[in-house]
Structure 1
Amino acid sequence: MQPSHPASLRRALIGAVLLAAVAAVGWLTYVLALDAGFVRMQREANDRLTLIASTFDATVARFRYLPAVLSLADPIRALYRDPQDAAAIAAANRYLQSLNQKAGAAELYVLDGNGLALAASNFDQDSSFVGQNYAFRPYFQDALRGGEGHYYAVGATTGQPGYFLSHRIEEAGKTIGVAVVKIDLSPLEADWARAGDLVAMKDENGVIFLASRAEWKYRPLSPIPASRIAELNAARQFGQAIDGTPVFVADGNRSGVQVGRARGRDDVEPGEYALQIRPLDQGWMLLLFSDAADARRHAATVATAGALALLAALLVAVVADQRRQVIRAKLEAHDVLEQRVAERTEELRKTHESLVQSAKLASLGQALAGVAHEITQPLAALITTIASSRVLLRRNDVERTAGNLDTMSSIADRMMALIAHLRMFARKETGARSVVALGAVIDNAIRLLQYKIDNERIEIVRVMPAEPLHSFANPVRLEQVVVNLLSNAIGAMRGCERRVLKVTLGRRDGRAEIEIADTGVGIAPEHLKSLFDPFFTTKEIGEGLGLGLSISYGIIRELGGEILVDSVPGVGSTFTVVIPAIDGSPAATQAELQA
């Protein structure tokens, strides 16, 4: 019996080693699968953040120019000339109320140089702003100092939160007041909640002020000093005391993703979440929380499957080894079993070939994974559209989803060529002027709208001069004018049988002319005189505020030029931008201006 002890000990040792190997492989598989899950979670979160940030920017952009345009309105100017005139006050109140019914802001109001509200769109309500003093609000102080301001706070009069945009009003170089627009951002929170997203937004102080979970509002994302909380409470920004308990406590970083514990609903046991952050232009941060439980469950499933597969393979190997030993022993004892040994040998050979083939397939799978990784970057441009389609499908908006699918095939080819110019075009600029090649301005504008031109099947005709034509202007603002006129022309031809967009650049009497002609529906004669007035529009409700042509007209007037219109209903319209041209060498002109 003694000889059996070393064999038993050997088998026990091998078994322990194999179990340890299975456990190690299972743990390694779990870690790798979990890292892959967090990477996938990060990619999906970035897609969602892109869509959410775009929606937020679009919401604010609708009202961004409203304070500046509001300050130019005749009823408001008349009010500042005589703030005590009852008729002027009544006219300004009615104007603000009527304007806000079209604009859709929370409230519109104007303040004097001391912060006193002179007129407001809610003048006839119990919570009227008229007569209230808002000099303590940062948006008022920022507008006085820098010309513009923005601030999120709970209204001191209404108790309703909102995003405030302000613009300084001047007369003959002297500050006479501030125009303010209050935007209600609560619909965004409702959209986040309906979509099932855990989304929040924090301000520059680290305090969450918008969230899909109401209990997260007015709490810091991460711990901040008690002294800072006391300062924020003294400022009365949120109309209530800030709860110093943080919403998120970071535990570490996994595959580039910040992971931690986020406070649960009604302050129940916090759960583990991955946090993705997207900066916004206002100095705020957009936050998206992704539940890490799904990634851990998936990783555990993959690890269990991997460990079981390895265990099964090892058991097969052990059984095969034991069979070989038995066969060897029987062959030594009896020659009759030689044939059976040969058969077993053949079976083992086939098993070996099968394992070799499996190894080949595994290598092929890795190669395909590498190829998939290499094509990820070209497909990145499609992700935003795909993310939007997912949201639309959850809302059962089949028609808009089908429209997204139609455009997906062409987005990838277009987006990469546009990105560099889109960054320049979207960058906030100072209005500084330089020598501008007008042909390049037109080309850039057409490139920005190429997708619309293609989708609407519009034939575009360019007529350019033999020699380059230059002007002294701000290139981004001038391009904004051309984009606006081109976009209007494209919209005017929607539904028309003949769609030709002709862009002509020329020179006459020392002035450059950019002529944009369409074959659209034309403009009614009674509308021509109001075409450049603020908020005048013939578009359907929700398609625009009627500010595009008004702003474009103001930009061209600043350049010492004008915009001419010629239109025949049913035939088409021609808009001509006339601005001063530059004589001589552009480089010499630029050097002379800089000197």
Structure 2
Amino acid sequence: MQPPRPVPLRHALIAAFALAAIAAAGWLAYVLALDAGFARMQREGNDRLALIASTFDATVARYRYLPAVLSLADPIRELYRDPQDAAAIAAANHYLKSLNQGARSAELYVLDSTGVALAASNFDQESSFVGYNYAFRPYFVDAMRSGEGHYYAVGATTGQPGYFLSHRITEGGKTLGVAVVKIDLSALEADWARAGDLVAMEDENGVIFLASRADWKYRPLLPVPAERLAELNAAQQFGQAIDAAPIFVPKSSRRGIEIGHARGRGNTELGEYALQIRPLDRGWKLLLFSDVVDARRNAATVAIAGMFALIALLLVVLVAYQRRQVVRAKLEAHDVLERRVAERTEELRRTLESLVQSAKLASLGQALAGVAHEINQPLAALITYVASSRVLLRRNEVDRAAENLDLMSSIAERMMALIDHLRMFARKETGSRSAVALAPVIDNAVRLLQYRIEHEHIEVVRIAPAEPLYSFANPIRLEQVVVNLLSNAIDAMRESERRLLRVALGSEAANAVIEVTDTGAGIAAEHVKLLFDPFFTTKEVGEGLGLGLSISYGIVREFGGDILVDSVPGRGSTFRVVIPLLDVAPASQHRELQA
């Protein structure tokens, strides 16, 4: 038996070079993917911060006028003319209580020039402000000095936190006192918590006073010197001592985002987070914390995929090299050997195609868990409503602005549900279903895209039956399907002179039919059969991942339906969503399912 032949030095060097190349490719892929993840996180965080900031400004703006209104009200003026008149005091108290109930503020009250409360909306409660002196509060000092003041603190009398806005009351050049409104901002904290955001607001001293986590309140973002902390505690702004333990320990910075560890109650470790900051008025700052675990996990996945891709490429090159050597040897042999070489080559080709298909399916499974492009349209709608609300608030159309806020809250809840559905789709789970009225689903989808429809100058034709149609489905996921089809139709008409979008709801036999027809460029016949394949798209690079129709098709199939396509190049396309009808009212169906 002959001893094994030593591996030539050349082969060893090639192997070492290959391993080094694989490691370098993996490291480079990880760094690039992590940078891309942080860039995406930065964009999404900036959008989220802008939305939260505008919501906060809108909330405060609703009450900013109240102190000035109080300074002009007749009952308040009468009170200042004779502060000892019992009838004037009673009239002012009842006026403040009525106005407070109508404005839905926390409290309204007026102070004399020495800071003593003359009348208050809570005059008939045990925690009444009447008779107490608030001259020590900065909002009183600022209003007396400059005409207006603001201050966030825990109430000295009620023990409840709030944002105080004040306005100086004058008559004939003489200062009479100060009018104050107290705003309860706890609803904002509740909204942040329900949305799943880690959001906090920092005051000009670096102390957190609003947060989606209760254990972050009245703690500094970063360490505060002991001397400064003692000064802040002496002011008793928050009715309790400020916890000196910071909530964030920065470790590094990437793409302008601070990365570090967040701390909970008792300095417990919450994990690694990226911190984004948006400055506000008054020296305050809005803080958004984003978990970086997903970004690092996705970057690691990309790096591993890149390494495997390089290994596969090297294997293909090696196989090709070996095959060429075998073919060269067998060409010199018998015809039988040539046939065997051809058969082996064909077998290797089929094996390689199978490996490529398996890799494609694995990539699909990975991509579905992180799909985010389906929420672009709701985000655009939110931005539109924010802009609209600002205009309405400038016009003092508070009721219409409140309606906008309700719509924005509804859209945000639908986006949260949509994200849950996408994750559930990646886990091969099904969402809960119930009897769904189809017309409102279409209405919501059109509403989400209204800004694009108007911006693109698209004429919309709506067709719906007189009687409501119902189907057993998930309303959020069905709306996702309609939004996707409408968005694709809008994109298809981008270069069309005549832009007509027809959205029809009807029934055929036992099925409900939703038709979306456009006058766009149409779809080539050879592309129609590929439309629902993952990653297939006819859009320009960077304008789509090719997953929208694939996801929509899966959703409709889950409901027991189908999506059909009819397209004429140059004239437009029609997508038909066909799902089973329910022949009973929703309430009856609910009782039947419960039984």
Per-residue CA deviations over 1:486-519 (Å, capped at 9, x if unaligned) read xxxxxxxxxxxxxxxxxxxxxxxxxxxxxxxxxx
Partners of 2:128 and 2:194 in 1: how far apart? 32
2:413 corresponds in structure 1 to 392
Q: Secondary structure at the match of 1:196?
A: coil
Quickly say closer, same or farther: Cα 1:232–1:63, change in 2 above 3 A. same
Aligned to 2:321: 321
Post-superposition CA distance 1:172-214 (Å, at most 9, x none): 0111100000000011111111111111111111111000101
Give 1:231's aligned amino acid.
Answer: E
Q: Spell out, residue by residue over 1:355-403, the C-alpha distance to the aligned partner (whole angstroms, 9 max, x if none).
A: xx99xxxxxxxxxxxxxxxxxx999965735986651315779999976
CA separation of 1:233 and 1:40: change in aligned 2, threshold 3 A? same
Q: Report how far residue 147 of structure 1 moved.
A: 0.5
Which residue matches 1:176? 176
- Counterparts in 2 of 1:396 and 1:125: CA distance versus 1, 3 Å: farther
Aligned equivalents of 2:150, 2:267: Cα separation in 1: 32
Query: Which residue is equivalent to 1:102?
Result: 102
Displacement of 1:63 in angstroms is 0.6
Q: Is the 8 A contact 1:331 1:337 kept in 2?
A: no
Alignment match, 1:5: 6
Aligned twin of 1:406: 446
Render the CA deviation track for 1:97-122: whole Å, top value 9, x for unaligned. 12111111111000011111111111
Distance (whole Å) between structure 2 residues aligned to residue 172 and residue 240 of structure 1: 41
Structure 2 residue identity aligned to 1:88:
A
User: Is residue 211–residue 217 contact of structure 2 (8 Å, CA) maintained in 1?
Assistant: yes
Unaligned ranges ≥5, structure 2: 358-375, 386-407, 419-435, 457-595
Conserved in 1, the CA contact under 8 Å of 2:382 and 2:411? no
CA distance in 1, matches of 2:123, 2:223: 41
Partner of 1:245: 245
Q: Distance in 1 between matches of 2:440 and 2:229?
A: 45
Letter in 1 for 2:45: A
- Tell me if structure 1 keeps the 8 A contact 2:261–2:269: no
Q: CA deviation at 1:305?
A: 1.4
Helix, strand or coil: the match of 2:108?
Answer: strand
Query: What displacement does 1:347 show?
Result: 7.1
Residue 313 of structure 2 is aligned to residue 291 of structure 1: no
Partners of 1:140 and 1:157 in 2: CA distance: 15
- The 1-side partners of 2:38 and 2:213 are apart by 23
| RMSD (CA atoms) | 3.6
The residue aligned with 2:519 is none
Task: State the 1:235 CA deviation.
Answer: 0.9
- 1:21 corresponds to which residue? 21
**C-alpha contact 1:331 1:341 (8 A) present in aligned 2:** no
Q: Secondary structure of 1:5's match? A: coil
Deviations 1:321-354 (A, max 9, x none): 234344545667x576884698599879999xx9
Distance 1:172 1:304 in 2: 77
| 1:123-170 deviations in Å (ceiling 9; x for gaps) | 111111111111111100110111001100011111110000000000
- Secondary structure of the corresponding residue to residue 60 of structure 2: helix
Contact 1:51 1:388 (C-alpha < 8 Å) held by counterparts? no
Question: Contact 1:207 / 1:221 at 8 angstroms: preserved in 2?
Answer: yes
Amino acid corresponding to residue 451 of structure 2 in structure 1: I
| Conservation of the 8 A alpha-carbon contact between 2:277 and 2:288 | yes
**Is contact 1:392-1:400 (8 Å) kept?**
no
Return the index of the structure with the highest Cα Rg: 1
Q: Please tell me whether the aligned partners of residues 51 and 383 of structure 2 are also in contact (alpha carbons under 8 angstroms).
A: yes
The 10-residue stretch of structure 1 (154-163 or 85-94) with the greater mean CA deviation from structure 2: 85-94
Which deviations, in whole Å up to 9, do the C-alpha atoms of 1:240-272 show, x marking residues without a partner? 111121111222222232221111466422311
Q: 1:227 maps to which residue? A: 227
Q: CA deviation at 1:81?
A: 0.8
Percent of pairs with identical residues:
68
Tell me the amino acid that sits aligned with residue 151 of structure 2. Y
Distance 2:6 2:277 in 1: 63
Relative to structure 1, the CA distance from residue 163 to residue 176 in structure 2 (aligned partners, 3 Å threshold; closer, same or farther) is same
**Contact 1:108 1:182 (8 Å CA) reproduced:** yes
Report the 3-state secondary structure (helix = DSSP H, G, I; strand = E; otherwise coil) of the residue aligned with 1:282. Answer: helix
Distance 1:402 1:136 in 2: 57
Q: Helix, strand or coil: the match of 2:63?
A: helix
CA shift in 2, pair 1:348/1:255, >3 Å: farther
Change (3 A) 1:5 1:396: closer
Residues 308/265 of structure 1: CA separation in 2 closer, same or farther (3 Å cut): farther
Secondary structure in 2 aligned to 1:84? coil
Residue 141 in 1 paired to residue 141 in 2?
A: yes
- Tell me the distance in 2 between the aligned counterparts of 1:104 and 1:28: 56
User: 2 CA distance for matches of 1:264 and 1:46?
Assistant: 24
Segments of structure 1 that go 5 or more residues without pairing to the other structure are: 359-376, 417-595
**What amino acid does structure 2 have at the position aligned with 1:319?**
V
Partner AA of 1:406 in structure 2? V
Question: Compared with structure 1, are the counterparts of its residues 247 and 171 closer, same or farther at alpha carbon in structure 2 (3 Å cutoff)?
Answer: same
- Cα pair 2:111 2:178 within 8 Å, conserved: yes
Aligned positions of 1:374-453 closer than 5 A: 384=383, 390-393=411-414, 405-412=445-452
Q: 1:138 touches 1:149 (CA, 8 Å); kept in 2? A: yes
Q: CA deviation at 1:54?
A: 2.1
Helix, strand or coil at the partner of 2:158: coil
Matches within 5 A, 1:25-36: 25-36=25-36
- Aligned residues, how many? 396
1:294-322, Cα deviation, whole Å (9 max, x unpaired): 11111111211121121122122223323
* Amino acid aligned to 1:225: P
Relative to structure 1, the CA distance from residue 219 to residue 166 in structure 2 (aligned partners, 3 Å threshold; closer, same or farther) is same
User: Given residue 6 of structure 2, which amino acid in structure 1 is its aligned partner?
Assistant: H
- The one-letter code sitting in structure 1 at the alignment partner of 2:95 is Y
**Cα deviation, residue 16, structure 1:** 2.2
Please say if 1:190 is aligned against 2:196. Answer: no
1:2–1:195 Cα change, 3 Å: same
Q: What is the identity, as a one-letter code, of the residue corresponding to 1:288? A: L
Q: TM-score, normalised by structure 2?
A: 0.60
Q: Distance between the aligned counterparts of 1:148 and 1:380, measured in 2?
A: 36
How big is the shift at 1:215? 0.5
SS of residue matched to 2:62: helix
User: Which position in structure 1 is the counterpart of 2:202?
Assistant: 202
Alpha-carbon separation, structure 2, partners of 1:330 and 1:139: 95
Kept in 1: contact 2:215–2:264 (CA 8 A): no
Q: Name the CA distance, whole Å, in 2 between partners of 1:205 and 1:257.
A: 21
